[in-house]
């Protein structure tokens, strides 16, 4: 994997696993928008479809880096790798995007701009409630609403949603987190969000549309995911509350 010039100090990480039906469209959107101020890192997690072959076509595109995992690492480990990468190469901002083209790549600009005033910025589907209600599968829509209310209650917060895969963070704040203590699966996004809340970091939300079709099927087991969200909410709300300022996360 070639390492690009880090002069711009803004890294967008795109997670790619079995996204051959969507990655071409996403890559074309990125090229069309000409995000020249960003460097992109695509993490290909040993997909079982043609995702790797498609990404190889773009390996020489300016501002693109592609990391091909020799084995499937899973979302959490890839997330940690991206954070460690941004810290090592002294980036200022780190933005995350999913390779299934479900989130609007054009909003990268908005995320980046808002990070001038916040430590965490994310795309909220709930801020465009009608789009969320009309386009999100019913059970997912209901669970999103209820879990958000549950988390806000226990963490004493008023975030509109916690489950968007389009988000950006100040790398300076990520340096303070002990990544070894975080989960190695998809719950890591919520963990970092919870830590930011407990440390009173600044948040901003931007409205994004909700995109779902027959090809946008989540790889996350819904019952397991909901259960883990509840358990980790309670964990961060109660067990870690007293020691929050005494231990590095």
Under 8 Å CB-to-CB from 99, ≥6 apart: which residues? 14, 15, 16, 17, 19, 22, 23, 26, 42, 51
Whether the CB-CB separation of 212 and 135 falls below 8 Å is answered with yes
Q: pTM of the prediction?
A: 0.90
What does residue 72 show for φ and ψ, rounded to 5 degrees? -70, 120
Residue-level pLDDT at 218 = 61
| Average pLDDT, consecutive stretches of 10 residues, N- to C-terminus, the chain (249 residues) | 58 95 89 83 96 93 92 96 96 95 92 97 93 86 94 94 95 94 92 92 94 66 88 83 46
Cα distance between residue 107 and residue 207, in whole Å: 9
Q: What is the pLDDT of residue 123?
A: 95
pLDDT of residue 2: 52
CATH number of 10-239: 3.90.550.10
Predicted confidence at residue 248, as pLDDT, reads 47
Q: Which residues pair with 41 in a beta bridge?
A: 13, 65
pLDDT of 244 reads 46
Please give the pLDDT value at position 173. Answer: 96
Q: Domain spans of the chain? A: 10-239
């Amino acid at each position: 994997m070639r390492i690009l010039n880090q002069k711009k100090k803004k890294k967008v990480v795109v997670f790619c696993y079995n996204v051959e039906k969507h990655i071409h469209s996403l890559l074309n959107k990125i090229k069309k928008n000409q995000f020249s101020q960003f460097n992109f890192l695509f993490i290909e997690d040993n997909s079982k479809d043609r995702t790797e072959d498609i990404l190889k076509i773009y390996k020489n595109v300016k501002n693109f880096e592609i990391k091909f995992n020799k084995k499937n690492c899973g979302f959490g480990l890839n997330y940690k790798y991206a954070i460690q990468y941004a810290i090592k190469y002294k980036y200022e901002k780190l933005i995350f995007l999913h390779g299934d083209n479900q989130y609007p790549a054009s909003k990268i600009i908005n995320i980046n701009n808002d990070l001038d005033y916040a430590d965490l910025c994310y795309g909220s589907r709930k801020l465009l409630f009608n789009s969320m209600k009309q386009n999100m599968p019913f059970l997912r829509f209901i669970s999103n609403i209820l879990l958000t209310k549950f988390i806000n209650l226990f963490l004493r917060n008023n975030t509109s949603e916690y489950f968007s895969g389009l988000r950006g963070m100040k790398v300076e704040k990520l340096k303070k987190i002990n990544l070894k203590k975080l989960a190695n699966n998809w719950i890591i996004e919520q963990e970092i969000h919870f830590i930011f809340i407990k440390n009173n970091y600044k948040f901003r939300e931007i409205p994004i549309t909700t995109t779902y079709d027959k090809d946008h099927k989540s790889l996350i087991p819904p019952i397991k995911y909901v259960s883990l969200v509840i358990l980790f909410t309670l964990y961060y709300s109660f067990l870690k509350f007293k020691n929050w300022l005494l231990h590095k996360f």
